[in-house]
Amino acid sequence: MERTPRDAQSIPSTDGVRVELIEDRTHAVASDGGFIKVRRYTLATRYRDGRVSEQYPYDVVDRDALDAVLIALTAAQLGHARDPLVCLRTALRPPVALRAQRSLAVPEQPTALLWELPAGLIELSPSADPVRETAARECREETGYAVASDQFETLGAPVFLTPGLCAEKIHFVHAWVDRDDPRDVTATELVEQASEIAWVALSQALALAEQGVIQDCKTELALRRLADKLAKSSEDDR
């Protein structure tokens, strides 16, 4: 599927997309029998002074490919060296959509799509640089832009997103692309079939995050790290 980039500064609404619950298979599948696994442990904490706590139950969310990489793609914007265009894409997030069926302490407008930076799971492999190789693969699959793995630069240290629930660690990378040279998008998962891409100025993307239009925390963190990196690079060039 060929992906034509939208005009810079445009970001379509995520309204109008819903996820319908067809069947709840929770009781038909073991807690460790799906893509996402729930480990139900009994733990004890051993402290530095030798003390050991009482045993306690603890549930942990797990999956085979535990970690992921988030990809900040930028394209030059003439006359705005510190404010390039960044590539955003919509991601269908069923757990977010199904919040509409819950009673929430703070009422909200339901949504099924989130604007995010492209990302992908890091599969276990003998690769010498699994983070960058995953970034290159996911970049091509999700956006259609071909970027060699050695063109990605790390964007700060990796972080844990929800350490009380899951041990997933997110790595951040950045690369420049030619915005006018998209290729075929090869992502085939059902939840990715309706994804859209938009190129937005970095300053506007940060403003959208502050306004709550961009609600994905890892995306906002990457955008802020990118802005800091470009600002520092500009100062060093003086």
- 201 pLDDT band, cuts 50/70/90, is very high
Asked if pLDDT for residue 2 goes beyond 50, the answer is no
Burial of 39 per CB tally in 10 Å (0-12, 13-18, 19+): exposed
pLDDT tens-digit profile of 15-41?
A: 888 999 999 999 998 998 999 999 999
Which CATH number covers residue 129? Answer: 3.90.79.10
CA distance 49 to 112: 48
**The one-letter amino acid at 86:** V
CA distance 97 to 207: 24
pLDDT tens-digit profile of 116-140?
A: 999 999 998 888 899 999 999 999 9
Give domain status of residue 27, yes or no. no
How many distinct structural domains can be found in the chain? 1
Give domain status of residue 81, yes or no. yes
CA distance 155 to 152: 9
Give domain status of residue 47, yes or no. no
Give domain status of residue 23, yes or no. no
**The one-letter amino acid at 115:** W
Give domain status of residue 18, yes or no. no
Domain range spanning residue 211? 62-102+109-236
Give domain status of residue 93, yes or no. yes
- Strands 169-176 and 68-75, by their bridges, are parallel
* Count of C-beta atoms within a 10 Å radius of residue 57: 8
Give domain status of residue 5, yes or no. no
CA distance 56 to 237: 55
- 230 pLDDT band, cuts 50/70/90, is very high
